[in-house]
Structure 1
Amino acid sequence: MMVNLFSHFVAHFGQDFKKSLVKEVENKTVGFPVTNDVLQSRPNPNTTRVGGTIEVKENLNDIDEDKRLCELKFGSYCLWRHEHREKMKDSVVKKMKDHLYVARAYYPSIAKVPVLDKLSRELKQNIQEFERILSESTTDTDLPPQIGKKLHKMEAVIDRAKSFPVDCNNVDKKLRQLVDLTEDEANFHMKQSAFLYQLAVQTMPKSLHCLSMRLTVEYFRSSSLDLKQSLTEKILNPKLYHYVIFSNNVLASSVVINSTVMHAEESGDLVFHVLTDRQNYFAMKLWFFRNVYKEATVQVLNIENLNLKDHDKETQLHLSLPEEFRVSFRRVGKPSTAQSRTEYISVFSHSHYLLPQIFQTLRKVVVLDDDIIVQRDLSALWSLNMDGKVNGAVQFCNVRLGHLINYVGGNSADGNSCAWMSGLNVLDLVRWRERNVTETYQRLVQELSTKHGLNEAVTLRASFLTFKGLVHDLNDNWVLSGLGHDHGLDMEAIKKAAALHFNGNMKPWLELGIPEYRGYWKKFLNREIQFLSDCNVNP
């Protein structure tokens, strides 16, 4: 609509008017301010893991402006909206609105000229007629008969108005008022749709909430079942392959375990420890009791009930999921375009630093986030030589510590170092205990919280500083990240990766998950389970 509106006035007033108006609109629309207060308040850990937003200024060149223009302000919602944009419908209604804008812009100037009284009346009649029709019709199918003649009549009146000399300043002023009104309305709808999108991705879907509740109720109905089956021998055996998952999502945890087991050469050597909270504990217990994953063993633990050595008894343990941060890179040097790109990084939460205390008999564990799926056998991770390092992680060089200098501390990290990611991590618990990693983290959190208050910036900074010099770089083929926000991943790279990480807010169990990638997740979901159909779970 705006393009058509500009064309009418460019034809009459020339390119100078177009340049000045477009510049003003661009400055209002995409000149987003850069602030230091970018880490937002901590969200409910039961709904989302996106802990905050970090904005970074840098020079970027090869970016698709159409897709990235509003990503800085609204995140990956803009990419999703671009992918799901519908073809323009009701073109006649839109054309009528364009003509109505033009007629309204000319009318005040024409009405002031006595010799143009007849033209003024025709303009007014056409404006009133279009206003009446548009108040009753919102689609082309609702328009009255012979609308083509009415459009032709309006176009003829506008052409006559444009042929008379009028005060350009008055028309310019009126057009700017109309542009401002249109821009404000468009911005309102963008903010409203972005808010609703964020609400959708941060709220537990009704079907998954139903699933958890139904499983919990069934757990207490099944008193005759031996839900306390003894698995002590395998759970404590350090020679087996132990995987840890922090999650409050039954379905996501199940898919992680199923995908890992399906690709394992020896499923009987696999032991999964699912750490959850009190709210989801009984649902998890029943689910993993009734569902078998070949010969693998699954243990469910309520982290709130753990009695850990040296833990302050007055401090309630709680489940915290991996923290995700949206890092927005804003292009500098061309403020009129403000191109940007967005990346997501995920780091350990407070719960991860309890692992050596929770699993005191284990020497090594692999931690899997619940938004991971596995595509290859992971047994090679257990014979990995980590050169004395504590944390085997994939380096994510699209974000470097230099980009996060305000959050990780300028004197504490090499600016050229890549950020490391949670998702799939090999942890040497023996070296962890020797290097007092947990104590280091807790001390840093205490020190930073005293200065800045406890927030996501503290978590991010403490995590990177704690593992300074202790991260073993895993080969990139182990994990491919970005499936929860990046629409442009290479499909061959997806097929080759040992694990896929759906980091970002477009999780595969949500309707707003990226359609091209959801199939990789859904194929490990057992749809024959009755509870899924009862709760209409169909991701």
Structure 2
Amino acid sequence: MDQSIARAKSCTVDCNNVDRKLRQILHMTEDEAHFHMKQSAYLYNLGVHTMPKSHHCLNMRLTVEYFKSMPLDPNDSSAHKFNLPDNRHYVILSKNVLAASVVINSTVSSSEDTENVVFHVLTDSQNFYAMKHWFARNSYRESAVNVINYEQIIFENFPEFGTQQLYLPEEFRVLISSLERPTEKSRMEYLSVFSHSHFFLAEIFKDLKKVIVLDDDVVVQRDISFLWNLDMGEKVNGAISFCGLKLGQLRNLLGRTMYDQQSCAWMSGVNVIDLDKWREHNVTENYLQLLRKFGNNDDEASLRASALPISLLSFQHLLYPLDERLILSGLGYDYGIKEELVQNSASLHYNGNMKPWLELGIPDYRKYWKRFLTRDERFMDECNVSP
């Protein structure tokens, strides 16, 4: 050992060469780490925006079965319920069979009376027949389910609207900072608002007076039928206020449009819509005017981004604040929500990227969604659907 140490000491070492070599190794390591971070971010983004292969299989099998088999259409017996204004009408915009079925199943399971309950599922042409066959095969107590091809009904009846594609509720990631405590760390929130497709509800459901709009990433855990007895006065949209963000903080986005800077933003998820007041206040016409100002029909990304200012401005002074305890949001991105809060909330909103039907969904929250998933469905087994 002594001889080895003495031999090592006798060797001349060029410190500059060692330093240069170590720096090369450091730079290579940093470049490699940066590459893997970009790759991970890309794969994550791909995972949250792509339909799982098993879900695509389920949609295809249901569509093929719809055309192969005799029509299993329950509309023959329940179609008379679809346009009765005295019934309780829920509206869901969805392209996901399982998501829509969980919303419906959780709502009827939590309701005392479902005899006069009607669900209107607005979907696109690609998923229409899969939805039709699924809801023909599965029943949800005494409620009726009406599957509507949104794109076809807009094309045939309202071609002048131009926006014929079905858009689901839009979600925007915002950073909230405290003006009173500027040193506090900013927090991230996902704000979900109505898409362009929501603004045609009053035209699609001309015979109805009031509807409750449910996002397809919502789970209802308590009876919410009390919402039908709300007196909203002259207000149009019953929604959860989101006062962490006020219109004055969005002045760069809203431009020179007249608005109340102290007005709070609001959230979609569970919304009570008075269609009569909607028509009185010309909400659809106001939306079309704002669309011409903010929208860019040639660029889908810009068109979807314009949903935020248009939604906030369209319902300015027309919002009825709902009790915040009605819905618990953040289950699609916030790992820090206490389980007691989740269990006791009337409804859960999985807004954010980590939806409960994805493998990336937060495990602690997915179980509340899976409770209302349809079991013993042949096509789910064949397509290996196991959210």
What TM-score, normalized by structure 2, do the two folds share?
A: 0.89
CA distance 1:224–1:440, shift in 2 (3 Å): closer
Give the structure 2 partner of residue 441 of structure 1. 287
Q: Contact (CA 8 Å) 2:75, 2:146: kept in 1 or not? A: no
Cα distance in structure 1, aligned partners of 2:142 and 2:114: 5
1:432 corresponds to which of 278, 284, 296: 278
Give the structure 2 partner of residue 362 of structure 1. 208
**What is the deviation of 1:232?**
3.0
CA distance 1:226–1:299, shift in 2 (3 Å): closer
Cα distance in structure 2, aligned partners of 1:531 and 1:451: 38
Cα distance in structure 1, aligned partners of 2:172 and 2:101: 25
Cα distance in structure 1, aligned partners of 2:295 and 2:154: 25
**What is the deviation of 1:268?**
0.8
Give the structure 2 partner of residue 347 of structure 1. 193
Cα distance in structure 1, aligned partners of 2:18 and 2:177: 36
Give the structure 2 partner of residue 205 of structure 1. 52
Cα distance in structure 2, aligned partners of 1:385 and 1:173: 75
Cα distance in structure 2, aligned partners of 1:330 and 1:521: 31
Give the structure 2 partner of residue 418 of structure 1. 264
Q: Contact (CA 8 Å) 1:227, 1:286: kept in 2 or not? A: no
Q: Contact (CA 8 Å) 1:277, 1:318: kept in 2 or not? A: yes
Say if 2:172 is the partner of 1:325. yes
2:92 corresponds to which of 245, 269, 280: 245
CA distance 1:117–1:199, shift in 2 (3 Å): farther
Cα distance in structure 2, aligned partners of 1:343 and 1:190: 23
SS at match of 1:306: helix
1:188 corresponds to which of 28, 35, 42: 35
2:244 corresponds to which of 398, 403, 407: 398
Give the structure 1 partner of residue 11 of structure 2. 118
- Describe how 1:149-168 pairs up with structure 2 within 5 A: none
SS at match of 2:358: coil
Q: Deviations over 1:476-514 (max 9, x none)?
A: 011111000010112222222211000001000000000
Q: Contact (CA 8 Å) 1:308, 1:358: kept in 2 or not? A: no
**What is the deviation of 1:246?**
0.3
- Describe how 1:371-386 pairs up with structure 2 within 5 A: 371-386=217-232
Say if 2:322 is the partner of 1:474. yes
Give the structure 1 partner of residue 68 of structure 2. 221
Please tell me the residue identity of whatever aligns with 1:306.
I
**What is the deviation of 1:237?**
1.0
- Stretches of structure 1 lacking an aligned partner (at least 5 in a row): 1-114, 121-165, 333-337
CA distance 1:116–1:493, shift in 2 (3 Å): same
Say if 2:100 is the partner of 1:231. no
**What is the deviation of 1:226?**
4.5
Say if 2:124 is the partner of 1:277. yes
**What is the deviation of 1:223?**
2.4
**What is the deviation of 1:427?**
0.3
SS at match of 1:244: strand
CA distance 1:193–1:378, shift in 2 (3 Å): same
Give the structure 1 partner of residue 3 of structure 2. none
Between the two proteins, the alignment pairs up a number of residues equal to 376
Give the structure 1 partner of residue 309 of structure 2. 461
Give the structure 2 partner of residue 389 of structure 1. 235
Please tell me the residue identity of whatever aligns with 2:166.
L
Please tell me the residue identity of whatever aligns with 2:43.
L
Q: Deviations over 1:115-164 (max 9, x none)?
A: 956365xxxxxxxxxxxxxxxxxxxxxxxxxxxxxxxxxxxxxxxxxxxx
CA distance 1:444–1:411, shift in 2 (3 Å): closer
SS at match of 1:422: strand
Give the structure 2 partner of residue 27 of structure 1. none
Q: Contact (CA 8 Å) 1:250, 1:283: kept in 2 or not? A: yes
Please tell me the residue identity of whatever aligns with 1:349.
S
CA distance 1:319–1:411, shift in 2 (3 Å): closer
Please tell me the residue identity of whatever aligns with 1:249.
N
Q: Contact (CA 8 Å) 2:239, 2:268: kept in 1 or not? A: yes
SS at match of 2:166: coil
SS at match of 2:11: helix
Give the structure 2 partner of residue 298 of structure 1. 145
CA distance 1:235–1:372, shift in 2 (3 Å): same
Q: Contact (CA 8 Å) 2:259, 2:313: kept in 1 or not? A: yes
SS at match of 1:204: coil
Q: Which has the larger radius of gyration?
A: 1
**What is the deviation of 1:183?**
1.6
Q: Contact (CA 8 Å) 1:507, 1:513: kept in 2 or not? A: yes
Cα distance in structure 1, aligned partners of 2:250 and 2:304: 13
Q: Contact (CA 8 Å) 1:244, 1:274: kept in 2 or not? A: yes
Cα distance in structure 2, aligned partners of 1:395 and 1:244: 20
Cα distance in structure 2, aligned partners of 1:514 and 1:351: 29
Cα distance in structure 2, aligned partners of 1:331 and 1:187: 32
- Stretches of structure 2 lacking an aligned partner (at least 5 in a row): 1-7
**What is the deviation of 1:341?**
3.0
Cα distance in structure 2, aligned partners of 1:490 and 1:404: 31
SS at match of 1:506: coil
SS at match of 1:509: coil
What TM-score, normalized by structure 1, do the two folds share?
A: 0.65
Please tell me the residue identity of whatever aligns with 2:383.
C
CA distance 1:224–1:468, shift in 2 (3 Å): closer
Q: Contact (CA 8 Å) 2:332, 2:355: kept in 1 or not? A: yes
**What is the deviation of 1:456?**
3.4
SS at match of 2:187: strand
**What is the deviation of 1:313?**
5.3
Q: Contact (CA 8 Å) 1:211, 1:535: kept in 2 or not? A: yes
Please tell me the residue identity of whatever aligns with 1:118.
C
Range that drifts further, 425-434 or 171-180: 171-180
Q: Contact (CA 8 Å) 1:227, 1:285: kept in 2 or not? A: no
**What is the deviation of 1:375?**
0.6
Please tell me the residue identity of whatever aligns with 1:322.
P
**What is the deviation of 1:406?**
1.8
1:498 corresponds to which of 339, 346, 352: 346
SS at match of 1:421: strand
Q: Contact (CA 8 Å) 1:241, 1:382: kept in 2 or not? A: yes
Please tell me the residue identity of whatever aligns with 1:392.
G
**What is the deviation of 1:187?**
1.2
Q: Contact (CA 8 Å) 1:309, 1:357: kept in 2 or not? A: no
Please tell me the residue identity of whatever aligns with 2:354.
M
Give the structure 2 partner of residue 526 of structure 1. 374
Please tell me the residue identity of whatever aligns with 1:505.
N
Q: Contact (CA 8 Å) 2:221, 2:345: kept in 1 or not? A: yes
